[in-house]
């Protein structure tokens, strides 16, 4: 079996030095496919999961094509959150440093929360080769005529599905309208939801499709537990769970920021130390929260899907889905925050009947679910939803039979419906007893 190397991509000597400085040995699966396609100038859609090496898949490709004498923006990289934009820009700066080009290759981070006028002045005086930022602030700078993106060769849209969820696709659209129609577009996304397809069809004609199936949690490395919600309060069930686990750090996921706030407040009022992380927080609040997480101030954090991608949270030992996500890929993303780098992890899922189609899809993918309840601070195995459904069906059949056994009175008197119901209940009890004896 042939071994893949970075040299096989015909990368430039400068980028070769960069790779060595970064300590990369062999390209990851996504790098093996993205780098040659990107160097050929192809527009592409890359699907892969957190930790697959996609950031350097596009960065190394772009650095190979950078013209240091050109005095205009050559590459634009957009990210849905400031945190992710900062992380990407840090990688850009690090790579430039390893290439020995920190005085020559210019990059600029464009995100909100900074002095807009100062940014305009700096950009006008010295245009960067590479722009990394959030769509809103990049668009602001284009409208202020602080930067001109028309001559840019490549445009990267990172975490496209999250960009869509957070409502930034319109701003991306406005940026691309102001760029050359021939610009190379590289879209990276963990999932390609239907709602994203009109945008992709508008800007990409026959793009190279790259899909990497690696880095998914496997049944061997993770345990997936299901706890029936049964109309209980989320906070009540989670408080029971906290008595049975000792997490290093547990992320509790909800499907929206309002419930995240509500649940966090409920848990705090019950004495739990809980942080909260979602798109509704101000940049300053998010930055403070991430710092407090790094300092181990919290053992639990309630979060939305914002935290499942684009934000690096270390040391997650448990993922608790207070609400199961709507799509299977989102489940994979959430639980992918734990069981990383060969560590074991546990996913605990509160579920109701409406989540069963998702659970069945995940089971078909090879995930194994165990069914539990927590009683008196201890895990107790319970029957699976299949067994419960069968039991409910049996009860339903018996109820029908019990009603049929009731004789309707010839003369209808006041209260006859109540009497019939009482008789049906008696019949049902008899039928259940007989059914139990037969077993």
Q: Cα–chain-centroid distance for residue 26?
A: 27
Confidence of residue 225 (pLDDT cuts 50, 70, 90): very high
Task: Using alpha carbons, list the distances in angstroms from residue 1 to 4, 18.
Answer: 9, 27
The rounded distance, in Å, linking the Cα atoms of 6 and 27 is: 6
Radius of gyration of the chain (CA): 28
- Kindly tell me if the per-residue pLDDT of 166 is higher than 90: no
Contacts of 3 (CB under 8 A, 6+ apart): 26
The rounded distance, in Å, linking the Cα atoms of 117 and 243 is: 52
The rounded distance, in Å, linking the Cα atoms of 423 and 144 is: 79
Contacts of 173 (CB under 8 A, 6+ apart): 199, 202
Tens of pLDDT along 282-302?
778 887 888 888 777 888 999
3-state secondary structure of 283: helix
The rounded distance, in Å, linking the Cα atoms of 200 and 193 is: 11
CA-angle at 389, arms to 238 and 320, nearest 5°: 20
What is the average pLDDT score of the chain?
A: 84
Q: What is the mean pLDDT of residues 266-288?
A: 87
- Kindly tell me if the per-residue pLDDT of 351 is higher than 60: yes
Query: How is residue 190 written in tokens?
Result: 């963990």
- Kindly tell me if the per-residue pLDDT of 341 is higher than 60: no
The rounded distance, in Å, linking the Cα atoms of 222 and 340 is: 10
Q: How is residue 130 annotated by DSSP?
A: E
Contacts of 424 (CB under 8 A, 6+ apart): 399, 402, 403, 405, 406
Q: What is the mean pLDDT of residues 248-263?
A: 91
Q: What is the mean pLDDT of residues 322-342?
A: 76
Contacts of 151 (CB under 8 A, 6+ apart): 70, 72, 73, 74, 180
- Kindly report which listed range (16-30, 42-56, 174-188, 198-212) carries the lowest average pLDDT score: 42-56
Longest CA–CA separation in the chain, Å: 101
Supply φ then ψ for residue 377, to 5 degrees: 75, 10
Query: Contacts by 8-11 with C-beta closer than 8 Å and gap 24+?
Result: 9/35, 9/36, 9/39, 10/39, 11/35, 11/60, 11/64
Q: What is the mean pLDDT of residues 225-252?
A: 90
- Kindly report which listed range (116-130, 227-241, 266-280, 324-338) carries the lowest average pLDDT score: 324-338
- Kindly tell me if the per-residue pLDDT of 151 is higher than 80: yes
Give 49 or 248, the one with higher predicted confidence. Answer: 248
- Kindly report which listed range (6-15, 73-82, 241-250, 328-337) carries the lowest average pLDDT score: 328-337
Q: Please write down the HEC assignment for all residues of 315-383.
A: CCCEEEECCCCCCHHHHHHHHCCCCCCCCCEEEEEEECHHHHHHHHHHHHCCCCEEEEEEECCEEEECC
Q: How is residue 370 annotated by DSSP?
A: E
Confidence of residue 411 (pLDDT cuts 50, 70, 90): low
Query: How is residue 346 written in tokens?
Result: 């546990």
Tens of pLDDT along 415-427?
666 777 777 777 7
Q: Are strands 318-321 and 345-351 parallel, antiparallel or unpaired?
A: parallel
Task: Using alpha carbons, list the distances in angstroms from residue 391 to 199, 384, 398.
Answer: 47, 11, 11
Confidence of residue 14 (pLDDT cuts 50, 70, 90): very high
Confidence of residue 240 (pLDDT cuts 50, 70, 90): very high
Q: Cα–chain-centroid distance for residue 224?
A: 17
Contacts of 44 (CB under 8 A, 6+ apart): 34, 37, 38, 186, 187, 207, 208, 209, 210
- Kindly tell me if the per-residue pLDDT of 389 is higher than 60: no
- Kindly tell me if the per-residue pLDDT of 217 is higher than 60: no
The listed range with the strongest mean pLDDT (151-155, 323-327, 371-375, 408-412) is 151-155
- Kindly tell me if the per-residue pLDDT of 337 is higher than 90: no
- Kindly tell me if the per-residue pLDDT of 219 is higher than 50: no
- Kindly tell me if the per-residue pLDDT of 373 is higher than 50: yes
- Kindly tell me if the per-residue pLDDT of 165 is higher than 90: no
Give 313 or 396, the one with higher predicted confidence. Answer: 313
Query: How is residue 11 written in tokens?
Result: 């990368």
Neighbours of 149 (CB within 10 A): 22
In the chain, the domains with their CATH numbers are: 6-211 (3.40.50.300), 222-383 (3.40.50.300), 396-430 (no CATH)
The rounded distance, in Å, linking the Cα atoms of 287 and 419 is: 65
Confidence of residue 147 (pLDDT cuts 50, 70, 90): very high
């Amino acid at each position: 079996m042939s071994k893949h190397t970075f040299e096989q991509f015909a990368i430039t000597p400068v980028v070769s030095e960069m790779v060595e400085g970064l300590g990369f040995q062999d390209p990851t699966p996504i790098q093996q496919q993205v780098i040659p396609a990107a160097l050929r100038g192809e527009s592409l859609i890359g699907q892969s999961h957190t930790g697959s090496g996609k950031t350097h898949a596009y960065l190394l490709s772009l650095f190979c094509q950078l013209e240091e004498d050109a005095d205009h923006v050559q590459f634009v990289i957009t990210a849905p959150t400031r945190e992710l934009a900062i992380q990407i820009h840090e990688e850009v700066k690090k790579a430039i440093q390893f290439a020995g080009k920190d005085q020559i290759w210019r990059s600029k981070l464009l995100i909100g929360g900074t002095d807009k006028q100062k940014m305009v002045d700096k950009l006008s005086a010295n245009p960067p080769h590479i722009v990394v930022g959030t769509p809103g602030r990049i668009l602001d700078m284009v409208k202020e005529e602080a930067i001109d993106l028309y001559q840019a060769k490549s445009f990267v849209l990172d975490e496209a599905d999250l960009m869509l969820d957070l409502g930034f696709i319109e701003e991306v659209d406005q940026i691309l309208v102001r760029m050359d129609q021939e610009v190379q577009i590289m879209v990276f996304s963990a999932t390609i939801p239907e709602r994203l397809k009109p945008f992709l069809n508008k800007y990409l004609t026959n793009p190279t499709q790259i899909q990497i199936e690696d880095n998914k949690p496997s049944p061997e490395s993770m345990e997936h537990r299901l706890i029936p919600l049964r109309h209980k309060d989320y906070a009540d069930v989670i408080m029971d769970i906290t008595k049975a686990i000792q997490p290093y750090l547990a992320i509790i996921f909800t499907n929206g920021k309002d419930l995240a706030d509500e649940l966090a407040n409920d848990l705090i009022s019950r004495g739990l130390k809980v942080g909260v992380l979602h798109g509704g927080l101000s940049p300053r609040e998010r930055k403070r929260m991430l710092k407090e997480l790094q300092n181990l101030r919290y053992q639990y954090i309630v979060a939305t899907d914002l935290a499942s991608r684009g934000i690096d949270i270390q040391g997650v030992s448990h993922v608790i889905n207070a609400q199961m996500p709507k799509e299977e890929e989102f489940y994979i993303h959430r639980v992918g925050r734990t069981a990383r780098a060969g560590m074991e992890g546990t996913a605990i899922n509160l579920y109701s009947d409406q989540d069963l189609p998702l659970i069945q899809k995940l089971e078909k993918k090879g995930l194994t679910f165990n069914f539990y309840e927590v009683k008196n601070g201890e895990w107790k195995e319970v029957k699976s939803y299949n067994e419960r459904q069968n039991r409910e069906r049996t009860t339903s059949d018996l109820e029908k039979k019990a009603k049929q056994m009731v004789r309707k009175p010839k003369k209808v008197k006041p209260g006859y419906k109540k009497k019939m119901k009482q008789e049906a209940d008696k019949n049902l009890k008899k039928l259940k007893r007989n059914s139990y004896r037969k077993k």
